[in-house]
Amino acid sequence: MKRLSNGLKKMLAGLAHQDAGEFLSMGEKLEVLGYGTKTKEKPLAAPRKVVRRPVTKRIALISDGRGLGAPLDYAIEACLRQGAQIDLLTHGAIDTEIISVLEKQVQQAGLDCQHIQLGVNVVDDLIDYIFDHRSLIFLVAIPDDNVARVLIEDVIPKRGGRIPVPLVLIEDQAAAQKHKQSAA
């Protein structure tokens, strides 16, 4: 009978402190109910705040040395609008002078530029790049670029018609005009 009486007293005391209990910590609530310890423990240190660095948005230009005209201009303008940096993804044997011309044009626009040379297995390296850089907004390529063609004809259909980022194809106007003039 005494246990029942003590249990009822604890329950009634809990009901009486119900409003106050909304503002009490769990330890204080248990102490009011008679289950807590009377010793004050040293409070735990405040958790560290994790400061996240802002993610740098990226736009990638896929190039085999071409694309100095309209494709690069489009990528630069898009980077300026989006506040992004440009990644030059090159493949194949490219003269370093061409790469330096591409990088100079990007730097003259006031953008950060990163040059990434894709390896022997270009398509797999490109897919790895896409999945490793979650801040990638889109890819820019020339329609007759070999890697862009493989992406369009093989990779995208195998993935259910999707890759995680859009692929923007921009025809290089200077190269197209040279082909038309030589055919005349």
Which residues are CB-contacts of 109 (< 8 A; sequence separation ≥ 6)?
Answer: 76, 79, 80
Is residue 177 included in any domain, yes or no? yes
Give the total number of structural domains in the chain: 2
Q: How far is the C-alpha of 174 from the C-alpha of 66, rounded, in Å?
A: 10
Is residue 49 included in any domain, yes or no? no
Q: What was the pLDDT predicted at 23?
A: 67
Tens-digit pLDDT profile for residues 130-183: 888 888 899 999 988 888 888 888 887 887 777 888 889 988 775 445 545 544
Domain span including residue 78: 58-183
Say what percent of the chain tops pLDDT 90: 5
Is residue 104 included in any domain, yes or no? yes
Residues 78 and 147 grouped into a single domain: yes
pTM here is 0.62
- Model confidence band, residue 184 (pLDDT cutoffs 50, 70, 90): very low
Structure tokens, 156? 């995208």
Is residue 50 included in any domain, yes or no? no
Question: 52 and 60 in contact (C-beta within 8 Å)?
Answer: no
Which residues are CB-contacts of 163 (< 8 A; sequence separation ≥ 6)?
Answer: 127, 130, 151, 155, 156
- Model confidence band, residue 30 (pLDDT cutoffs 50, 70, 90): confident
Say what percent of the chain tops pLDDT 70: 77
- The CATH number of residue 114's host domain is 3.40.50.620
Position 74 pLDDT exceeds 70: yes
